[in-house]
Amino acid sequence: MTATTARRLTAVPTPARTAATQGAGAANVDVRLVARSIAQAAVEVLAGTRPVQQLARFLDADCYLALQHRAGLTRDFVVRSRAPQRIHLSPMVRSVRVCRISDEIHEATIVVAEDLRCRAIAMRLELSASAWQVTALEIG
């Protein structure tokens, strides 16, 4: 014995388009995705698996030089300690939180998990020349 029920034909509502999916301009890009990718790349630079030059267009001059300097110090420490090289596993971003200061300024906090520890990263992103750029970067 089979039972059939009347099926209501209702219009399926389409989700509203968010700023992350509208257009191709930098103002319409989801800042969380930008912060996530920059944070992961910065941790990879510190681990020595990514060249810092790949972040040049995303970081302002001060942040770029600070990250380059810190990566150099880390590299020198590894060479001096003569510790056995471990196979580097790619860091995994655990969470991203973004606070909108204004239309052109956002601040983000990111938690990145590595093999042995988690890192907290804070950054300030500013919209300049139609691209998001990091103007402050702190890596714990």
Burial 33-55 (b: 16+ CB within 10 A, else e): ebbbebbbbbbbbbbeebebeeb
Is residue 46 a part of any domain in this protein? yes
The model's pLDDT over 92-140, given as tens digits with 9 standing for 90+, comes to: 999 999 999 999 999 999 999 988 889 999 999 999 887 899 999 999 8
Is residue 6 a part of any domain in this protein? no
The model's pLDDT over 29-82, given as tens digits with 9 standing for 90+, comes to: 789 999 999 999 999 998 888 899 999 999 999 999 999 999 888 877 777 776
CA 81 to chain centre: 30
**Position 13 pLDDT exceeds 80:** no
Q: Which CATH number goes with the domain that contains 127? A: 3.10.450.50
Is residue 44 a part of any domain in this protein? yes
Q: How confident is the model at residue 8 (pLDDT cuts 50, 70, 90)?
A: very low
Is residue 15 a part of any domain in this protein? no
Number of independent structural domains in the chain: 1
Range of the domain at 72: 28-83+90-139
Is residue 62 a part of any domain in this protein? yes
Tokens 């991203």 locate to: 96
* Average pLDDT for 15-31: 51
